[in-house]
Amino acid sequence: MTNPQNQPDHKKPRILIIDDEESIFEVIEGLLLREGYDLTYVSSGKEALNQIEEIQPDVILLDLMMPEMDGLETCQQI
Q: In this structure, how many other beta carbons lie within 10 angstroms of the beta carbon of residue 25?
A: 20
pLDDT digits (tens, 9 = 90+) for 5-51: 555 556 899 999 999 999 999 999 999 999 999 999 999 999 999 99
Domain ranges (residues) in the chain: 12-77
Please, which contacts does 74-78 make with residues 24 or more away whose CB atoms are closer than 8 Å?
A: 74/18, 74/45, 74/48, 74/49, 77/45, 77/49, 78/48, 78/49, 78/52
Q: Which CATH number fits domain 12-77: 3.40.50.2300, 3.30.470.160, 3.30.420.310, 1.20.1260.10?
A: 3.40.50.2300
User: What is the pTM assigned to this prediction?
Assistant: 0.81
